[in-house]
């Protein structure tokens, strides 16, 4: 079992479990929105008819998506193996049910699009154009951001510590699930979030290594200690990822070199980015020399673009997004929409299949339709993406920037918290939670309650550390059928206030008891409706941690 901590809308809080994201396959990729709309009436019949090959199902699985090091993989072969080994399983059936719900939402959007008149868009154009003018006027491109992403981190740590793994395809995990793989394994189509038994079929020589998160945390801390020399307030997106603002470091270096004082504004910006490239290269070299691990990096004038660029030249490379506004826009608008943080599987399918939007340029060209058909929050975020306006605006105060970031985070799935104000500013955060997976499933009442208490204890310690308390407790469970359910309760006294998690567990166990009996593959606890800790300081009531649920606890809960 593995435990993960995360805040809503952020990359996994301490990186122990990779967040499940699915890139939709291209079943309708080359088909225009108009031609798909004409065939909407036959959609139900098509959905019933069984596709003939694995590629028709590729969009159902997160592990069918391409990662760094997989460009030369025979996708048709991988998709067929995945399909053959997944069909008929409960996971496969649940994925199909979720996909059908998404298809129903697509049909609703198509129907709304079919009844949209030109006159309906007239007021929308005026509103959107005014918004564009305002966003461009307030756009802040004054900072230099860098996102550092470790290369196949867990696998790299294992290969560093065990030289016998060199030259072998290997994966961290087991037959039930893989956390990550090295680049040699990826050449076979094996990747993170893939069941190990499917990976073994794709690569019979695959070597499995049991995960050791204590070791990964230690290696991660060594990396962060180096990175904090360049940005003391960096935001750790996960164990293997860091979001940094290196502007101050770059400016100090330029001042030290005593050059460029008489340059015009564009020349000064060009010099800053030239120095930034050298700074990031030196930073990456230092990480490699000190930890014997490699990392890749993205450099840009917005956090979002730096994040996207960090994946461009993997492994052990870096990418600089052009600093000139027009070139930066060109870079952005050539992106596939699935590359944009916050656009997940469902949002991508809606945009592609209902509106014919495949790239950010399509988003810009169809900005009026998006504003008319999508929610105000979704449309606002997508418009900001097309204009590279995802940083807080220069005219906003810090508080209003946090509010705007939180609003944008609700758009199209979850916007990573890295777009907020940094690790130490929790005001933009909406929730914090932890999850645990069960490789073989768990049904014992004692085991489930023990697990619930352990999650509550770990989450409470994290909340106390970050000074976070909230009025809403949510239980998330994934049953053996792979159906996911959430149950929540509103509490009068914000929790947690105990480092051992007992007060949080009082509420979580009540929610869990209502689902008994059950067999679970995942359990998670989340605290939301966070309140300002300065108004209600968190007091550590107990420093002890309970390791088992007492029998009286279960009896009282299950009555």
For residue 245, name the pLDDT band (cuts at 50, 70, 90). very high
Strand pairing partners for 490? 472
Q: Among 302, 323, 344, identify where a domain stops.
A: 323
* Three-state SS annotation for 394-450: CCCCHHHHHHHHHHHHCCCCCCCHHHCCCCCCCCCCCEEEEEEEEEEEECCHHHHHH
Residue 420 has pLDDT above 60, yes or no: no
Q: Is the peptide bond before 517 cis (omega within 30 degrees of 0)?
A: yes
Let me know if residue 75 belongs to a domain: no
Measured CA angle at 413 (ends 407, 418), to 5 deg: 60
- Whole-number pLDDT of residue 240: 94
Q: Which phi and psi (to 5°) does residue 117 adopt? A: -100, 160
Same domain, 174 and 311: yes
Same domain, 310 and 438: no
Number of separate domains in the chain: 2
Interval 448-477 mean pLDDT:
91
- Whole-number pLDDT of residue 75: 79
- Whole-number pLDDT of residue 462: 87
- Whole-number pLDDT of residue 232: 95
Residue 226 has pLDDT above 60, yes or no: yes
The whole domain housing 255 covers: 145-192+203-323
Q: Among 291, 323, 355, identify where a domain stops.
A: 323
| Tokens at 405, concatenated | 């970031």
- What is the spatial distance between Cα 182 and Cα 206, in angstroms, rounded to a whole number? 10
- Whole-number pLDDT of residue 500: 86
Same domain, 309 and 440: no
User: Helix, strand, or coil here: 199?
Assistant: helix
Residue 415 has pLDDT above 70, yes or no: no
- What is the spatial distance between Cα 211 and Cα 398, in angstroms, rounded to a whole number? 40
Q: What's the pTM?
A: 0.71
Interval 294-314 mean pLDDT:
96
Q: Please write the tens of the pLDDT for every residue from 424-434.
A: 334 457 889 99
Q: Which of 28-32, 152-156, 417-421, 461-465 has the lowest mean pLDDT?
A: 417-421
Let me know if residue 335 belongs to a domain: no
Same domain, 317 and 436: no
- Whole-number pLDDT of residue 342: 87
- Whole-number pLDDT of residue 259: 61
Residue 315: other Cβ atoms inside 10 A? 16
Let me know if residue 285 belongs to a domain: yes
For residue 58, name the pLDDT band (cuts at 50, 70, 90). low
- What is the spatial distance between Cα 102 and Cα 104, in angstroms, rounded to a whole number? 5
Give catalytic residue positions. Answer: 241
Residue 64 has pLDDT above 70, yes or no: no
User: Helix, strand, or coil here: 503?
Assistant: helix
- Percent of the residues in the chain that have a pLDDT greater than 90, as a whole number: 52
Q: Please write the tens of the pLDDT for every residue from 26-45.
A: 333 334 334 433 343 333 43
Same domain, 312 and 437: no
Only one residue has tokens 């719900």, namely 101
For residue 559, CA distances in Å to 116, 506, 512, 552 come to 55, 14, 13, 11
Q: Among 323, 356, 389, identify where a domain stops.
A: 323
CATH number at residue 289: 3.30.70.270
- Whole-number pLDDT of residue 482: 79
CATH number at residue 510: 3.30.1490.100
- Whole-number pLDDT of residue 523: 94
Residue 548 has pLDDT above 80, yes or no: no
Same domain, 156 and 304: yes
Q: Please write the tens of the pLDDT for every residue from 70-90.
A: 778 777 888 788 778 778 777
Let me know if residue 481 belongs to a domain: yes
Average pLDDT, the chain: 79
- Whole-number pLDDT of residue 327: 96
Higher pLDDT pick, 105 / 193? 105
- Whole-number pLDDT of residue 533: 62
Same domain, 315 and 454: no
Residue 249: other Cβ atoms inside 10 A? 20
For residue 121, CA distances in Å to 130, 162, 375 come to 14, 62, 15
Interval 459-488 mean pLDDT:
89
Let me know if residue 103 belongs to a domain: no
Let me know if residue 155 belongs to a domain: yes
For residue 389, CA distances in Å to 56, 120, 298, 404, 499 come to 36, 27, 18, 12, 40
- Whole-number pLDDT of residue 49: 44
Distance of CA 149 to the CA centre of its chain: 13
Interval 273-278 mean pLDDT:
96
Let me know if residue 61 belongs to a domain: no
Let me know if residue 493 belongs to a domain: yes
- What is the spatial distance between Cα 332 and Cα 435, in angstroms, rounded to a whole number? 34
């Amino acid at each position: 079992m593995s435990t993960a901590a995360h805040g809503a809308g952020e990359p996994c809080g301490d990186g122990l479990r990779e967040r499940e994201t699915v890139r939709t396959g291209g079943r309708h990729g080359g088909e225009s929105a108009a031609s798909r709309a004409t065939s909407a009436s036959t959609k139900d019949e098509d959905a019933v008819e069984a596709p003939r090959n694995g590629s028709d199902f590729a969009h159902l699985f997160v592990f069918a998506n391409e990662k760094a090091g997989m460009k030369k993989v025979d996708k048709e072969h991988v998709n067929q193996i995945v399909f053959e080994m997944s069909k008929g399983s409960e996971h496969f059936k649940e994925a199909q049910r979720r996909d059908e719900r998404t298809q129903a939402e697509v049909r609703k959007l198509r129907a709304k699009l079919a009844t949209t008149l030109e006159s309906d868009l007239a007021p929308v154009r005026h509103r959107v154009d005014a918004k564009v003018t305002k966003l461009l006027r307030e756009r802040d491109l004054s900072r230099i951001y860098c996102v550092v992403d470790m290369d196949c981190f867990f696998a790299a740590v294992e290969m560093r510590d065990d030289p016998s793994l060199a030259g072998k395809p290997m994966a961290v995990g087991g037959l039930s699930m893989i956390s990550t793989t090295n680049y040699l394994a990826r050449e076979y189509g094996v990747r993170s979030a893939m069941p190990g038994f499917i990976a073994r079929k794709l690569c019979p020589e695959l070597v499995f290594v049991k995960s050791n998160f204590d070791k990964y945390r230690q290696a991660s801390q060594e990396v962060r200690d180096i990175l904090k020399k360049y940005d003391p307030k960096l935001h750790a997106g996960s164990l293997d990822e860091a979001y940094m603002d290196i502007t101050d470091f770059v400016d100090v270096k330029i001042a030290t070199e005593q050059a460029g004082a008489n340059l015009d504004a564009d020349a000064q910006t060009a010099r800053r980015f030239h120095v930034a490239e050298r700074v990031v290269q030196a930073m990456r070299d230092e990480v490699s020399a000190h930890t014997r691990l490699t990392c890749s990096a993205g450099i840009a004038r917005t956090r979002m673009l730096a994040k996207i660029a960090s994946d461009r030249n993997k492994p052990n490379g870096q990418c600089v997004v052009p600093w000139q506004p027009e070139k930066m826009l060109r870079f952005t608008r050539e992106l596939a929409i699935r590359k944009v943080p916050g656009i997940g599987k469902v949002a991508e399918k809606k945009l592609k299949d209902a509106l014919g939007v495949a790239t950010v340029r399509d988003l810009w060209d169809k900005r009026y339709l998006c504003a008319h058909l999508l929610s105000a929050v979704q449309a606002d975020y997508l418009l900001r993406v097309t204009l590279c306006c995802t940083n807080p605006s220069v005219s906003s105060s810090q508080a209003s920037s946090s509010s705007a970031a939180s609003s944008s985070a609700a758009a199209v799935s979850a916007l990573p918290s890295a777009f907020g104000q940094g690790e130490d500013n929790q005001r933009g955060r909406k929730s914090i939670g932890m999850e645990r997976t069960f490789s073989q499933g768990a049904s014992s009442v004692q085991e489930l309650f023990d697990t619930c208490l352990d999650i509550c204890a770990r989450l409470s310690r994290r909340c106390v550390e970050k000074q976070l308390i909230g009025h809403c407790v949510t239980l998330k469970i994934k049953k053996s059928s792979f159906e996911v359910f959430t149950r929540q309760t509103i509490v009068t006294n914000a929790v947690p206030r105990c480092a051992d998690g007992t007060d949080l567990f009082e509420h979580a166990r009540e929610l869990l008891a209502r689902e008994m009996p059950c067999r679970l593959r995942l359990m998670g606890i989340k605290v939301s409706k966070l309140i300002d800790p300065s108004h209600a300081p968190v007091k550590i009531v107990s420093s002890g941690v309970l390791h088992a649920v007492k029998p009286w606890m279960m009896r009282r809960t299950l009555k």
